[in-house]
Structure 1
Amino acid sequence: MLAAFPGFARAAGGTPKIGLVMKSLANEFFKDMQEGAVAYAKKRGGFELIPVGIQSETDIDGQIAAVENLLTRGVDAIVIAPADSRALLPPVARAVKSGVKVINIDVAFDPESMKKRGVDIAFVGPDNRAGAKMSGEVLAQALGRGGKVVIVEGNPGAENATQRKLGYQDAITAGGLTLIDSRTAHWETEEANSVFTDMLTAHPDIQGVMAANDSMALGIVKAIQARGKTGAIKVVSFDDIPAVKPLLESGALLATVDQFGSQLAADGIDEALKEIGGQNLTGWIKTELKLVKGKGAA
């Protein structure tokens, strides 16, 4: 209950409201995040949770509207996984300056953009670059030096997409792989299927794929199967959503990285409650990552 946070008290004495703004609920990672947050709120008690999501990974306007709607509902804090590291800052900065506490999860806000807007928002999340490097190293070990690989990226405006691409590039450099193409599929399954199909047409000698999330890996594996190249092209990814478990078991997915999505929102909520209780949080509060290997991974 609220007594766990010394000094916690609303001036009006009511139950605090916390808004949780996620990205696409079509992505199993964010569905899992919402379910974990709702379960945590029910178990912990002492606050009202208002979870909202958008319908596609690129619906930035939908997220902006969600933030504005939460402000009209009088929330005390917002925990947000922004679809874009810069575009969501204007409404979020307005929230901070109006006295609403904000905790950033999953996708970090751009530091320079925060500085320009005069806000310093704590980030709760994993080291995406380090995680992607771990996943990419499994592919490098499987292919050996000179292996030809491509990267299928997340949203260009999202900091975690940038960091995961950098992590994959780290693994490519360290493992002596050859990067022959890199394109975005905006985190989406069907778009990844289409993008990778085009890549395979342009580069029929692809040996490995580094996908920035599991949702895209699902579409990539489908494209590989459609071309009759199962086993000939190896795939690694990031997120460890339940849908990729069969792919890991069969070896269609060589590795992914668990960032414990169902716990991530709960961690953000805890930090938001600390801020409501009077603490001033800043900087990066790191969360856990775990490499998950599939069948055939060394």
Structure 2
Amino acid sequence: MHARLWRTAAPLLLIGVLLAATGCGRGGDHGSGDYKIAIVTRNFTNPYWAALRDGAIAEASHLGVKVSVQAGQSETDADGENAQISTMAAQGYDCFGVVPVNGTNVITPLTTVARKKTPILNLDTQIDANASQQAGVSYASFIGSDNLEAGKTAGQQMLAALGGSGKVAVLQGIAGEQNGINRDQGFSDTVAGKLDIVQRAPADYEQDKGLQVTEAILKAHPDITGIFAANDTMGLGAAQAIKNAGRTGQIKVISVDGIKAALDAVKAGTLYGTVTQYPYAEGQLAVQGCLALHQGKQLPARVVSPIAFINTANVDQQIGAFPKPIVTFDNPVEGLLNK
């Protein structure tokens, strides 16, 4: 059976440490106390990746396994992320979960992991399948949310917010990064023929750049009534630029991720809404997936984590449940674990 609801587990504020878990809950039945999981993501400055880390740490504690979560220094720090993978590849980890900066940056350091036949989970952002195959790297599963659907949801909500017409701008993420591309595509396809997208501009998933780019957009297109930002940090920057211009409420901002600061902004009315993707759940899924592999189970090729649109109607509920989902979710991974 698939578990439908996530358990309550308070996030532990530990960064990049090896957690020796105590085997509470079901963990004592797994006999996996020496099983070591390595997870590498982009950075911990972005609360989204910090939440993924916290979910992994909490789930490892619950299941009685060890996990170390490491990261680069920024969203675009491919070299730093690769150095973490290379270091951990030599440290005897039994399973890897990796969020790439882009489609190819992690492939070279992962060749060492693949040669040892250590299972690898591709987390959150798709790694290029053809380039991986050529390098001899394969993945036991992809675990992440549906970014096309997130963009589609944002587009539907923007249409509703603007009454089906208007001029909008799009804040893109990192050039060439697939999640942002998919979110943009989902949004654009949904609003095509109804909303006029007057400008697209990258802001590298950073709040300061989101503010600066939005300031420029407001000068070039003062008649826009909506902004779609491919992540919350850029959306918060856009909301600040709109507030600085004295136009809060006149321009609707919808972003993606569901970080705590975005929820607070929705409650305050500076952000119209966020499509939350529950990275905490992704971290839990990564640990569950690694343990299922350790127990000899085969994972689905793709595990889709939940998303939900949060606005003033349900933001209090989501803040109360944060960082866990307020939507039910058929989890195909947890059901594989030995009880």
Under a length normalisation based on structure 1, what TM-score does the superposition of the two structures give? 0.90
Separation in structure 1 between the aligned mates of residue 213 and residue 258 of structure 2, nearest angstrom: 22
Cα contact 1:110–1:159 (8 A) shared by 2: no
Q: Which of 90, 115, 121 is the matching residue for 1:72?
A: 90
1:253-272 paired onto structure 2 within 5 Å: 253-272=271-290
Separation in structure 2 between the aligned mates of residue 296 and residue 260 of structure 1, nearest angstrom: 15
Is 2:181 the partner of 1:162? yes
Cα contact 2:114–2:136 (8 A) shared by 1: no
1:196-211 paired onto structure 2 within 5 Å: 196-211=214-229
Separation in structure 1 between the aligned mates of residue 242 and residue 42 of structure 2, nearest angstrom: 27
Is 2:204 the partner of 1:186? yes
Local SS of the residue matching 2:87: helix
Local SS of the residue matching 1:181: strand
Separation in structure 2 between the aligned mates of residue 158 and residue 85 of structure 1, nearest angstrom: 7
User: Which amino acid letter does the alignment assign opposite residue 69 of structure 1?
Assistant: T
Local SS of the residue matching 2:171: strand
Deviations 1:112-167 (A, max 9, x none): 32333343312011111101211221111111343111111112232211111111
Shift of 1:293: 1.8
Local SS of the residue matching 1:231: coil
User: Which amino acid letter does the alignment assign opposite residue 230 of structure 1?
Assistant: T
Closer, same or farther: CA 294–132 of 1 in aligned 2, 3 Å: farther
Greater shift in the superposed pair: 85-94 or 61-70 = 85-94
Local SS of the residue matching 2:192: helix
Separation in structure 2 between the aligned mates of residue 279 and residue 108 of structure 1, nearest angstrom: 22
Greater shift in the superposed pair: 215-224 or 80-89 = 80-89
Per the alignment, residue 140 of structure 1 pairs with: 159
Is 2:52 the partner of 1:33? yes
Q: Which of 225, 228, 231 is the matching residue for 2:246?
A: 228
Under a length normalisation based on structure 2, what TM-score does the superposition of the two structures give? 0.79
Local SS of the residue matching 1:288: coil
Cα contact 2:166–2:195 (8 A) shared by 1: yes
Separation in structure 1 between the aligned mates of residue 164 and residue 210 of structure 2, nearest angstrom: 26
Per the alignment, residue 148 of structure 2 pairs with: 129
Stretches of structure 1 that go unaligned for 5 or more consecutive residues are: none
**Structure of greater relative contact order (alpha carbons < 8 Å, 6+ residues apart):** 1
Stretches of structure 2 that go unaligned for 5 or more consecutive residues are: 1-26, 316-339
Greater shift in the superposed pair: 14-23 or 54-63 = 14-23
Separation in structure 2 between the aligned mates of residue 276 and residue 101 of structure 1, nearest angstrom: 9
Q: Which of 53, 62, 81 is the matching residue for 1:43?
A: 62
Q: Which of 257, 261, 270 is the matching residue for 1:252?
A: 270
Deviations 1:155-210 (A, max 9, x none): 22322111111111122217x10011111111111111111112222222221100
Separation in structure 2 between the aligned mates of residue 147 and residue 296 of structure 1, nearest angstrom: 26
Shift of 1:19: 0.7
Is 2:288 the partner of 1:277? no
Closer, same or farther: CA 219–180 of 1 in aligned 2, 3 Å: same
Stretches (4+) displaced over 6 A: none
